[in-house]
Structure 1
């Protein structure tokens, strides 16, 4: 039967030991009693706790676990993720609520080391930080911007400034020159040229020099005269005596050029032939005889000295291969049948003839052309227009050839690999446009073509006393596979008839006049600290130097008229009459009467005066950077750079220091002391 439990079972005192005898099972206290159950779930208060020793083992373990929370009691408050325990300071933030159960007669709080914890089943409470005051910055007082004072440009540069410039590596050095900080002018490149009495070579009377050419690898210079003689001079040694002279042609030598290794010299003559000479032995290696008139120019192909191009007054351009021998049809009366004739591999017949002519038989024809000002004019053209200038493009595009004529200022581009018809005028790949001022007035001839160092600019010396600068990339508008270095060498037919742009700017000077076809131009390539310079001859009796650096051109003012009023012509077109020659007067009168220019024209040239007394025809640059000029006064001049140029300008005529000397003319105040 069921018996009621005795009070001893619910007592907290330990039970009495069971009897060892007289019972079947040992009586043990139950594992969970009502008192133990209530005590386990009742919160504890550390203030009521007597000591650590009175705590049970589980209480001591819980106290040890939560002891580290004391170090975080003063830490800054921060938000915690949801459903996590947020320990806060017990005294300052919140207190543990008292138990409302009546069974808990002696409630107590948890110890100080054990902060109150929220129930894991409830969301954590976020503590809102107290509001704080936002301080605004004091408004700054607006002050006007302060700009640095501009650098004052020096009007002139003396010897000390030029010495400092050279010590920096010259104006061509990257980032170290004076061009970028506006402390130099274009005159610094041309002001130091002079020629002393020892820098002159006098040719025999009766045979004025017509042309000159410089070697590519040494200091020798060749001069050709009217009698057909070639003179080799040393530009670094004694210039008054010729190194060697020999008779190469029976007529005047019009043009010369050395091969790339200076082993051969090509010379074109008025006897309608050209020849290739061995410079070491002065022996003729090949004779180029197929032209019907005087040979105007002769040029070696870059990177291949076996290919030569010649132009003539007969209007044809001949391409020669020195490795092929000519037949009996090439025999010329001036050389006989035993001469080593070369063979022609390509002929550009009537290269600059007007393709609009009705007749192409060589007789004169007339066409009517309407100009931009609606004025009709009759222009007579021959089919055999003289080809006055030749120029190959550099290596990589050496199959492209540029030509100019005495009929207009247009430049034509040819591909010597293509096949051209012999029945009529050859059609070029491209033809540049005429300058607008020429279309409104009349066309002028071109005497010389010169490419700069990287072949990006083409300089054409025109008989209107202007050197026009063309962009090589503008020779053809649009896509130009012919100008690409990757063009196929197996091209059979050329794409012809394309249009190119006209010149982009020009050079003029009051001392530069091209009164004859013998006035030529030459360009010195930039090497080491020597800048690129363009030299031209002149009918005024003095060579003229033009710096080609286009960064100087941007700082120079130029004339750009906007209307056709004759009173608005640029002042640089109004040249003064200095000679009584009828040929020069005719040239200047035509210059004054032409229409205004529509492109920038720059006049920053430097004339080299007192070196010659007659027309300076041809110029060339020696290997060492000195300029060689020839004139109708039978003199060959060598112009070098040095401080003597300034002394000749400011020294005056005393003591005969200027006797047989020449020097560069600079602007007013250039030689003033700093």
Structure 2
């Protein structure tokens, strides 16, 4: 039998390369073996078709770190600035991620980690992924710190509408813009009413008109000053003590009381009178302690300086001057220092301590204010030689009590003065720290004066009641433009007299209402300061036999409140000027307190408990309280009591506000 092996065909042979022995320097020899298709194992199959997992702890290359630092989430959460090494790293193209491994290509895996199970293959894929190895030499020395990527979170503002509203309140937009048909602004003032027991009527045969009002700061009392020089104090705490009863009566002056102001602790009452004097009254002893003498015209406004310990006051007068008074610089005059407040006591004005002004500003407002033409080249007109009455003044706040804002009957310019500077020794026209621009709408018409100004709760806004039937809003930060060390909270340097008058911006926006009409300078403005259970509201007098309330929350300044008043019942009347594009916007979200008075409402004052007191030329004063049910009942007249409704007043609202459906929608 022939045992010779049969030679295989040439096409079925394969050549093998065998490494030569290095010691013998032999050349490799080829061995032929039949070719076979590579087998697809479960590990190779799962490795190719299984996607790579994300958000796992792994080493990240330095080049990928730079790309990750550019993401929005990384930029928002970055705390430390990026560190740039001194040595420049060489460019490397080996960091380019490679394509997934092919199932027909055998990967080099250590034999100790080889496995035929699919789960083991996935583990080896995560451990032996060369695309996530650090190639930087410095990173290799320190070691690549693993980075953990949290799961992607869905913003809660996109979950629902309630979540979006919560996002706006917590950390979203500061100004919430309501829909164009929103009437939420009515909720601020729609609950005010005045019952038939909340008014006090003066005897027209023996009494005079009430001129001014001032609310106490610590107790629920209000002081009313009249044309005869008397002061009546009413209790506005609640229904247990009717407002119609007079708590206390004093007679500090023999002339009309134009304005009153209480100190921060209600210990002193300052009265500004038409007899050109100002009286300081000790409320505990009910005696006059000081008399401020120096003005040559009726005093229009008196203000205590915040943080001065009830020692420093500022007044403005019809003679065009602004004076600063220090009660510690008083001198005794007369045999007795104190005298009871009785009208029959003769020589009352000269029996207490007289105080002279420690600083005064003469001709604070003139007709040349706001004009760009130099008066040195042209003759001074007659109107420029006469001083204009300074109608109102107000200290800024307790952080900057040295700054005093003033306004006049001449125009709508508001001036800012540094009362630490002495203006008595200066000759010529005094220069204030700054003066604001007039509203753009006054350029084509005559100027309009200002009757009253006041700062808001935190001192960031200044509100002025202008004779063009508008409440203008100024930003305190924009009263002075450029470098203004006087506005700094830690400023100890007074304003230099040699410096020229600074410039401030005009009003940002204004408030109007069809029933806000100003015919005299007796109509005043008052602000209820913000508290835990009270919102900030502006109250103004008006010649339309009512007071008007404006909420100051800027979220109501939307397109719905900008333009004519939304109430169709209101008769459309043209204002003295319009507000075209480029001028400050005007908003109509005011609420009128109707049926309470029958003549012009002059003075308004807020009390400690949030009630409003108004005085009118019909010889009456009223107290307006806040109660939603009572106000709604008076508007709808549910009890059918004609007498109670006739002697009462309420807040006027838009049609449909008192409907149950609309109330639920607004809430």
1:238 positional shift: 2.1
Q: Paired residue for 2:365, among 329, 334, 352?
A: 352
Could you say what secondary structure the match of 2:660 adopts?
Answer: coil
Residue 294, structure 1, aligned to residue 298, structure 2: yes
Could you say what secondary structure the match of 2:634 adopts?
Answer: helix
1:634 positional shift: 1.3
Q: Paired residue for 2:641, among 655, 658, 662?
A: 655
Q: Paired residue for 1:416, among 419, 432, 443?
A: 419
1:448 positional shift: 0.3
Tell me what 2:576 maps to: 592
Tell me what 1:141 maps to: none
1:87 positional shift: 9.1
Could you say what secondary structure the match of 2:446 adopts?
Answer: coil
Q: How far apart in 2 are the matches of 1:338 and 1:673?
A: 63
Residue 635, structure 1, aligned to residue 635, structure 2: no
1:400 positional shift: 0.3
Q: How far apart in 1 are the matches of 2:358 and 2:439?
A: 34
1:472 positional shift: 0.6
1:339 positional shift: 3.4
**How is 1:196-595 mapped onto 2 (pairs within 5 angstroms)?**
196-205=195-204, 206-236=207-237, 237-304=241-308, 305-326=310-331, 337-355=350-368, 380-420=383-423, 421-489=425-493, 493=497, 495-559=499-563, 591-592=575-576
1:478 positional shift: 1.7
Q: How far apart in 2 are the matches of 1:641 and 1:555?
A: 28
1:576 positional shift: 8.5
Tell me what 1:128 maps to: none
Q: How far apart in 2 are the matches of 1:313 and 1:529?
A: 39
Are the counterparts in 1 of residues 291 and 349 from structure 2 also a CA contact under 8 Å? no
Could you say what secondary structure the match of 1:649 adopts?
Answer: helix
Tell me what 1:609 maps to: 594
1:496 positional shift: 3.9
C-alpha change, 1:529 and 1:550, in structure 2 (3 Å) is same
**How is 1:99-110 mapped onto 2 (pairs within 5 angstroms)?**
none
Are the counterparts in 2 of residues 327 and 343 from structure 1 also a CA contact under 8 Å? no
Q: How far apart in 2 are the matches of 1:178 and 1:626?
A: 28
Could you say what secondary structure the match of 1:645 adopts?
Answer: helix
Could you say what secondary structure the match of 2:312 adopts?
Answer: strand
C-alpha change, 1:233 and 1:251, in structure 2 (3 Å) is same
Q: How far apart in 2 are the matches of 1:246 and 1:172?
A: 49
C-alpha change, 1:406 and 1:456, in structure 2 (3 Å) is same
Could you say what secondary structure the match of 1:243 adopts?
Answer: strand
Higher mean C-alpha displacement, 399-408 vs 520-529: 520-529
Residue 667, structure 1, aligned to residue 667, structure 2: no
Tell me what 1:79 maps to: 108
Are the counterparts in 1 of residues 525 and 538 from structure 2 also a CA contact under 8 Å? yes
Are the counterparts in 1 of residues 485 and 491 from structure 2 also a CA contact under 8 Å? yes
Q: Which runs of 5+ in 2 are unaligned?
A: 1-104, 115-157, 334-345, 662-667
1:509 positional shift: 0.5
Aligned residues: 483
TM-score, with length taken from structure 1: 0.66
Residue 646, structure 1, aligned to residue 650, structure 2: no
Are the counterparts in 2 of residues 326 and 344 from structure 1 also a CA contact under 8 Å? no
Q: How far apart in 1 are the matches of 2:636 and 2:565?
A: 28
Tell me what 2:138 maps to: none
Could you say what secondary structure the match of 2:443 adopts?
Answer: helix
Are the counterparts in 2 of residues 258 and 265 from structure 1 also a CA contact under 8 Å? yes
1:338 positional shift: 3.7
C-alpha change, 1:440 and 1:665, in structure 2 (3 Å) is same
1:383 positional shift: 2.9
1:318 positional shift: 0.6
C-alpha change, 1:576 and 1:87, in structure 2 (3 Å) is closer
TM-score, with length taken from structure 2: 0.66
1:180 positional shift: 7.6
Q: How far apart in 2 are the matches of 1:310 and 1:664?
A: 34
1:181 positional shift: 7.8
Alpha-carbon displacement from aligned partner over 1:167-187 (angstroms, at most 9, x marks no partner): x9xx99999x99788786000
Instruction: Please give the root-mean-square deviation of Cα atoms over the aligned residues, in Å.
Output: 3.7
Q: How far apart in 2 are the matches of 1:571 and 1:189?
A: 17
C-alpha change, 1:666 and 1:347, in structure 2 (3 Å) is same
1:288 positional shift: 0.6
Q: How far apart in 2 are the matches of 1:88 and 1:605?
A: 80
1:488 positional shift: 1.3
Alpha-carbon displacement from aligned partner over 1:3-35 (angstroms, at most 9, x marks no partner): xxxxxxxxxxxxxxxxxxxxxxxxxxxxxxxxx
Could you say what secondary structure the match of 1:396 adopts?
Answer: coil
Are the counterparts in 2 of residues 270 and 293 from structure 1 also a CA contact under 8 Å? yes
1:384 positional shift: 1.5
Q: How far apart in 2 are the matches of 1:595 and 1:186?
A: 22
Tell me what 2:38 maps to: none
Alpha-carbon displacement from aligned partner over 1:186-220 (angstroms, at most 9, x marks no partner): 00111110000111112232411000001111111
The structure with the largest alpha-carbon Rg is 1
C-alpha change, 1:281 and 1:87, in structure 2 (3 Å) is closer
